[in-house]
Amino acid sequence: MAKIGTDLNSFILEEERKHPDATGSLTMALMAIEAAAKKIASHVRRAGLADILGKAGTTNVQGEEVQKLDVISNNIMIEHLSACGEFFALASEELDEAIFPEEGKNGKYIIAFDPLDGSSNIDVNVSIGTIFSIQRKINGTQEDFLQEGKNQIAAGYVIYGSSTMLVYSTGSGVNGFTLDPSVGMFLLSHPDIKLPEKGKIYSLNESNYKKWDEPLRKYVDHLKDEGYTARYIGSMVADVHRTLIKGGMFGYPADKKNVNGKLRLLYEASPMAFLIEQAGGKSSTGKDSILDIKPEKLHQRVPVFLGSKYEMDLLEKYMNE
């Protein structure tokens, strides 16, 4: 196992060496994500100042147009992911359709991302994040994004919390790196993350309780009867990060109003399901693994449950009774 403190670039190169047939494409792709993450982190850290220096849609004291943080993050992702030349196509929560950068015309991969998830938390200084999912290019059309999550080549997120972390997997476990601001590098801080078999926390937006179906209500009541405690941040990245480390469950279910739930399959549910399963946990729609869903469209929504084995098995028992 790599040593704590190993920097992300060395770690990625070391992983590449384990695959003698690797061409270095994935390495370049991951390094582009890392560069974008550092830039977005520096903007997120100044978010409060943006209010003082000028709001979105206005000009700041330097007379520059002030952009919203999610627009800035989207532009940074597009700039770096395009320039690296490894991505044939990019899909973003912020774009209606996929884009095909000129520099990526020979790229082997495609990437779907949410540049800044949890945007309702920006104004109140609570953790937000960037989520990404890398798949292989097949035919070179937008349809290539409609592959099952289990085919992901890599997936991960960056959390802008009390520290900035990058957590990712290429299909052989999950590793977490913390940005050391003094050297500007991500350093391995959480090697080979594994969820406990059973946790103590449930995490859902319980204000929707009355809109949930009966089996889900009974399941949550069961967890409470077993003594579980509640944590819900309302930033998927932060809620999933806690679940990866402490176990328990996180969910954004379907309800009477949102029949497919709220979260998006390609750049929220699927990459997080990949990480949770790589870390020994389970993902579920309530019936099957999220990684087995065949997507039908780019911005499709899906009910999401992620967590430790015990809580997920119990959920499926209630949901399928």
CA angle at residue 62 from 59 to 68, to 5 degrees?
A: 40
List, in order, residues 6 or more apart from 190 with CB less than 8 Å away. 165, 167, 175, 176, 177, 178, 245
> How big is the chain, counted in residues?
321
**Cα 14 from chain centre:** 24
List, in order, residues 6 or more apart from 19 with CB less than 8 Å away. none
117 binds Mg ion per the rule CB under 5 A: yes
As measured in angstroms, the least distance from the Cβ of 77 to Mg ion is 13
Choice between 93 and 311, CB closer to Mg ion: 93
85, 115, 118, 161: residue in contact with ligand AHM (rule CB under 6 A): 118
Look up residue 86 and give its amino acid: E
What residue number has its CB nearest to Mg ion?
Answer: 117
234 touches, from Mg ion, ligand AHM, none (C-beta below 5 to 8 Å by class): ligand AHM
Tokens of 296: 């039908």
Where do we find the tokens 């520096």? Answer: 42
10, 75, 119, 260: residue in contact with ligand AHM (rule CB under 6 A): 119
As measured in angstroms, the least distance from the Cβ of 267 to Mg ion is 7
255 touches, from ligand AHM, Mg ion, none (C-beta below 5 to 8 Å by class): none
Q: For residues 69 and 79, give the distance between their C-alpha atoms in angstroms, rounded to a whole number.
A: 15
Choice between 87 and 252, CB closer to Mg ion: 252
Q: For residues 278 and 149, give the distance between their C-alpha atoms in angstroms, rounded to a whole number.
A: 12
Q: For residues 316 and 48, give the distance between their C-alpha atoms in angstroms, rounded to a whole number.
A: 42
Q: For residues 44 and 176, give the distance between their C-alpha atoms in angstroms, rounded to a whole number.
A: 20
Choice between 44 and 188, CB closer to ligand AHM: 44
289 touches, from ligand AHM, Mg ion, none (C-beta below 5 to 8 Å by class): none
Choice between 26 and 116, CB closer to Mg ion: 116
114 binds Mg ion per the rule CB under 5 A: yes
Residues 233-292 that bind ligand AHM (CB under 6 A): 234-236, 239, 252, 262
The values of phi and psi at residue 238, to 5°, are: -70, -40
Choice between 98 and 159, CB closer to ligand AHM: 159
The residues that touch Mg ion, with contacts defined as CB under 5 A, are: 114, 117
Binding positions for ligand AHM, rule: CB under 6 A: 93, 114, 117-119, 205, 234-236, 239, 252, 262
